[in-house]
Amino acid sequence: MPVSWIGILLVAGLASIGSCSAAAVEYDANAVIINGQRKIILSGSIHYPRSTVEMWSDLIQKAKAGGIDAIETYIFWNAHEPRRREYNFAGNLDFVQFFQKVQEAGLYGILRIGPYACAEWNYGGFPVWLHNIPGIKFRTDNEIFKNEMQTFTTKIVNMAKEAKLFASQGGPVILAQIENEYGNVMGSYGEAGKSYVKWCAQMAVAQNIGVPWIMCQQSDAPSPVINTCNGFYCDTFTPNNPTSPKMWTENWTGWFKKWGQKDPHRTAEDLAFAVARFFQYGGVLQNYYMYHGGTNFGRTSGGPFITTSYDYDAPLDEYGNLNQPKWGHLKNLHAALKLGENVLTNSTVKSTKYSDGWAELTTYTSNINGERFCFLSNTKMDDLDVDLQQDGKYFVPAWSVSILQGCNKEIHSTAKVNVQTSLIVKKLHENDKPQKLSWVWAAEPIKTPLHGRGRFKASQLIEQKAATNDETDYLWYMTRDDSKKIFHPHCHSMQYRVDNNKTASQNMTLRVKYSGQFLHAFVNGKEIGSQHDYGFTFEKPVLLKPGTNVISLLSVTVGLQNYGEFFDEGPEGIAGGPVELVDSSNTTTNLSTNEWSYKVGLIGEGRGRRFYDPTSGRAKWISGKLRVGRAMTWYKTTFQAPSGTEPVVVDLQGMGKGHAWVNGNSLGRFWPTETADPNGCDGKCDYRGKYKDSKCLSNCGNPTQRWYHVPRSFLNNGSNTLILFDEIGGNPSDVSFQITATETICGNAYEGSTLELSCNSEQRIISGIQYASFGDPQGSCGSFQKGSIEASSSLSAVEKACIGKDSCSINVSKTTFGVKDSFGVDNNRLAVQAVCTGYNENDEENHTQKKEN
């Protein structure tokens, strides 16, 4: 008997008001049951604020084309409630519209309300005002927190109900999540943590949404809430209730990136292996985290130090391009799994081991008609041959799962990639000439802070979030030694002036205990140094002059912590310090309770910290000689949008660290000078063996992030404005706008199959075949070589089929290549390497004709 969801009784009532018919979402251990239909669900995460409204449909369609059934997203509390009870659901925060598009595409939705998200999102999704409420304790049995969490959860649920988003109302949402991976940190919260989990479940269930609630990584999830698994592999996971389906809410398709780190890569083979293993071991629902990672626009990246790109090496890249072969290989896997859906969701299971236990055959036999469906896995690092007697002999590559329809026909091998590999490049559009950008600049007015004058004062070093409400990355802490309040520890409470009686300058050390990410220190108007890390002690020699000395410290956040027990309580900024002056005899003067003056944000950030108008203060744009390599500088230019419709990026090579805006839209933080470690990219990437985020790295020694996404919807046809703020000094002379395009594509296919090649854009065509060989070609994409035999018409046949088209398919057969039956080897194969080029719009007719032929 399937488990009926608690709110299912509501279904009939809610259905009568819905435009689409209500669906009952039920489940048992072997299936999610939607309107009586037993299903396995393949889902993918796309976070709505990490792209633009204009991108949503395309992303969702590409997910659908990739064989995805459901789209999953968190809800991001701090984006929706930036100030207490002031809500924002506009633009790409319109989660209702996002789910409506999911439904229009015929897909299901999974709503992870949290409202704690983690997600490499600033402060894990918590608003900073929440932290600033006196007496609050996050994620535990604290009335103030629970009230706020309930208020927000109810707000989201009510909005979803009003828009009839739940399946029980005819909408797409089949599951909702409360909290997020609390089980990972719960131990640190003691008994209060346990009662908090119970409260979360009760509070969620009482929302009566008519579809099941889930909690991830929560082995004590109170029934009826279903606990689910997150990780690179979840095959061995079992839910805490025998009637719950085995669900995997986060299958990490790659990994996120921090400033200074290399590019992560999880191979298509290993990802497919993990998915197939999960279904081999009774999985019911699997979600890719991320299916499209996207971009951390504005100041939404968490961390600290998470990059602006949240590409994640996901099946759809940051810009929405197909990440091939990952996207296509998973698509093939999904198609194979769906062929087994009826059997998998209602069957008896048996397992048999082969090859000393390294190979395992899992046989699902349908309880209805006896039909069989098998998974044959090999967890060894070596290939195996497995003899299934009357069901055939199988070559099972190392670290792979073969899916056998009817248990005797291989329909997929996770280690055999039969789809194209695409090399996506950033380049000037073929129709565009290089633009020589002309720049104006403005210096951020810092004289006032350098003179120690801020907006408010306190005799303590204030925690940064408390001072800024996190409305800006920037906080100035300033003090002057003529304040007469300098505290000297050796003289206990005696107060005295540091240097007033001195007649000569004195060498001292300025020491700052720092809990933020980036600190710039100035003494008497001169920068004495800057440093960045995960909290550190800053120490620099300073020459103090007789009389008044001014110390100005600019603390910069690079995303707030998003994960860990009590992560929300970690101090930011100089937060209590101490800030000290140490003289040559090691005598320390503690300045922490000195009178400190504060200034929140930059002048150029303007009102409401919208970050794009440096002239809102006293600064003026200057068009003379360009100021380069100087900290705290604003730059402005105008530019034409690149031709075509492909995704646009701005190359910020040459810039230091700061923030970028196009036509007032934030592109996020930039930091091209922060490079990845030069070592550790050996070019080798073995898909075999357990993936971890230190495997298969690339981009050593290069800027962690050089290109920044400029969504097409930020651009207009005429003139566009780019504003850059550089905090550490840079040179915009090499900044340029480019498109991202599939340039080189490679394919491989065996005789008897079809090779599909695509430039992944209607605006690009296959303009040349660099290599084509039917026979026994050797090597791989980028280094194919002729083998011992090759059909002489290889190149001409492929050219005929593909040149001038945006996609083509070739039957890999002897007939296609006009060779005799006796030609070649047993296993002839076609390897192709082709080039895609943007076609000139004048050639439109020509192109269309070729396509039609």
116 lies in the site for ligand GAL, by CB under 6 A: no
Shorter beta-carbon distance to ligand GAL: residue 72 or 360: 72
- Residues 694-713, one symbol each (x = binds ligand GAL by CB under 6 A, - = not), give --------------------
For this structure, is 86 an active site residue?
A: no
Q: Which is nearer to ligand GAL, 227 or 230 (CB)?
A: 230
For the CA atoms of 118, 122, 127, 129, what is the dihedral angle to 10 degrees?
Answer: 130
CA distance 733 to 588: 46
CB of 57 to ligand GAL, least distance (A): 25
Contact 246, 31 (CB under 8 A): no
Q: Does 359 engage in binding with ligand GAL (CB under 6 A)?
A: no
Q: Which is nearer to ligand GAL, 561 or 816 (CB)?
A: 561
Beta strands 736-750 and 829-838: pairing type?
antiparallel
User: Which residue, 215 or 486, has its beta carbon nearer to ligand GAL?
Assistant: 215
Q: What's the Cα-to-Cα distance from 642 to each of 429, 601, 696, 713, rounded to whole Å?
A: 6, 33, 33, 13
How many Cα atoms are found within 13 Å in the side-chain-facing hemisphere of 703? 18
Tell me: does residue 724 bind ligand GAL (CB under 6 A): no
By CB under 6 A, name the one of 120, 141, 148, 646 that touches ligand GAL: 120
Q: How far is CA 105 from CA 54, 220, 338, 756, 808, in A?
A: 15, 36, 18, 25, 26
User: Which is nearer to ligand GAL, 602 or 697 (by Cβ)?
Assistant: 697
Q: How far is the CB of 117 from ligand GAL (least distance, A)?
A: 6
CA pair distance 776, 91, nearest whole angstrom: 53
Stretch that binds ligand GAL, among 16-24, 118-126, 479-487, 744-752 (CB under 6 A): 118-126
Residue number, 117 or 834, with CB nearest to ligand GAL = 117
C-beta separation of 323 from 316 below 8 A = yes
Part of the chain binding ligand GAL (CB under 6 A), chosen from 111-119, 140-148, 260-268, 584-592: 111-119
Residue 349, φ and ψ in degrees, nearest 5 = -115, 140
Site for ligand GAL in 611-640 (CB under 6 A): none
Q: How many residues at the interface with ligand GAL, by CB under 6 A?
A: 9
The answer to whether 568 contacts ligand GAL (rule: CB under 6 A) is no
Q: Fill in the per-residue mask, 26 to 55: x = in contact with ligand GAL (CB under 6 A), - = not in contact.
A: ------------------------------
**Among residues 26, 250, 646, 727, which one is catalytic?**
250
Q: Is 250 a catalytic residue?
A: yes
How is residue 56 annotated by DSSP? H
- Which residue number, 122 or 169, has a Cβ lying nearer to ligand GAL? 122
Per-residue 3-state assignment (H helix, E strand, C coil) for 357-395? HCEEEEEEEECCCCCEEEEEEECCCCCEEEECHHHCEEE
Within positions 178 to 237, which residues make up the interface with ligand GAL, using CB under 6 A?
180-181, 230
CA dihedral angle for residue 789, residue 795, residue 797, residue 801, rounded to 10 degrees = 140
Asked whether position 119 contacts ligand GAL by CB under 6 A, the answer is: yes
Instruction: Choose the stretch contacting ligand GAL; rule: CB under 6 A; options: 117-125, 377-385, 760-768, 824-832.
Output: 117-125
562 versus 763: smaller Cβ distance to ligand GAL: 562
Q: Is 111 in the site for ligand GAL (CB under 6 A)?
A: no
Candidates 102-110, 116-124, 151-159, 235-243; binding stretch for ligand GAL (CB under 6 A): 116-124
Nearer to ligand GAL, 22 or 560 (CB): 560
Minimum separation from the CB atom of position 740 to ligand GAL (A): 23
Q: Quote the least distance from Cβ 250 to ligand GAL, whole Å.
A: 6
Residue closest to 578 by CA, chosen among 465, 457, 479, 471: 479
User: Residue 684 — φ and ψ, nearest 5°?
Assistant: -90, 140
From the list 115-123, 128-136, 529-537, 701-709, the region that binds ligand GAL by CB under 6 A is 115-123
Contacts with 76 (C-beta within 8 Å, 6 or more apart), sequence order: 47, 49, 93, 117, 119, 121, 125, 300
Write down the least CB distance from residue 257 to ligand GAL, Å: 10
> Bridge partners of 722?
637, 662
Would you say 692 and 271 are in contact if contact means Cβ atoms under 8 Å apart?
no
- In sign, the C-alpha dihedral spanning 23, 25, 26, 32 is positive
- Give residue number: closest CB to ligand GAL: 118
The whole-angstrom separation of Cα 807 and Cα 832 is 13
Tokens 């046989």 locate to 363
**CA 45/CA 68 separation, integer angstroms:** 10
Can you tell me which of 11, 24, 33, 118 binds ligand GAL, judged by CB under 6 A?
Answer: 118
Angstrom CA distances, 800 to 373, 803, 808, stand at 40, 6, 10
Q: Can you tell me the distance from the alpha carbon of 701 to that of 677, in angstroms, rounded to the nearest whole number?
A: 5
CB of 118 to ligand GAL, least distance (A): 3
Tell me the C-alpha distance between 110 and 121, whole Å.
19
Q: Is 674 in the site for ligand GAL (CB under 6 A)?
A: no
Q: Whole-angstrom Cα distance, residue 337 to residue 342?
A: 10
Q: Which two structure tokens, joined as six digits, stand for 362?
A: 């899992």
Name, in order, each residue with C-beta under 8 angstroms of 55's C-beta and a sequence gap of 6 or more.
320, 711, 713
Q: How far is the CB of 217 from ligand GAL (least distance, A)?
A: 7
Options 58-66, 112-120, 232-240, 811-819: segment touching ligand GAL (CB under 6 A): 112-120
Residue recorded with tokens 């108007």 = 525
| Cβ proximity of 606 and 505 under 8 Å | no
Name the one range near ligand GAL by CB under 6 A: 113-121, 236-244, 479-487, 498-506.
113-121
* 420 in Cβ contact with 747 (< 8 Å): yes
Min dist CB 532 to ligand GAL, Å, is 22
Closer Cβ to ligand GAL, 214 or 766, answer by number: 214
Subset of 250-269 contacting ligand GAL (CB under 6 A):
250, 256
Rounded Cα distance between 72 and 112, Å, is 7
CA distances from 223 to 184, 197, 242 (A): 19, 11, 11
Report the C-alpha gap between 776 and 558 in whole angstroms.
52
For ligand GAL, give the closer residue by CB, 117 or 641.
Answer: 117
Contact between 317 and ligand GAL by CB under 6 A: the answer reads no
**If DSSP states are collapsed to H, E and C, what string results for 228-283?**
EEEECCCCCCCCCCCCCCEEEEEEECCCCCECCCCECCCCHHHHHHHHHHHHHCCE
Residue closer to ligand GAL, measured from CB, 447 or 690: 690
Q: Closest distance between ligand GAL and the C-beta of residue 563, in Å? A: 6
Residue 706 Cβ vs ligand GAL, minimum distance, rounded to whole Å: 22
**C-beta of 118 vs 443, nearer to ligand GAL:** 118
Selected catalytic residue, list 181, 572, 580, 743 = 181
At closest approach, how far in Å is the CB of 152 from ligand GAL? 18
CB of 514 to ligand GAL, least distance (A): 26
Residue 290 beta carbon to ligand GAL: minimum distance, rounded to whole angstroms: 8
Which positions are annotated as active-site residues? Answer: 181, 250
Write out the residues near ligand GAL by the rule CB under 6 A: 117-120, 180-181, 230, 250, 256
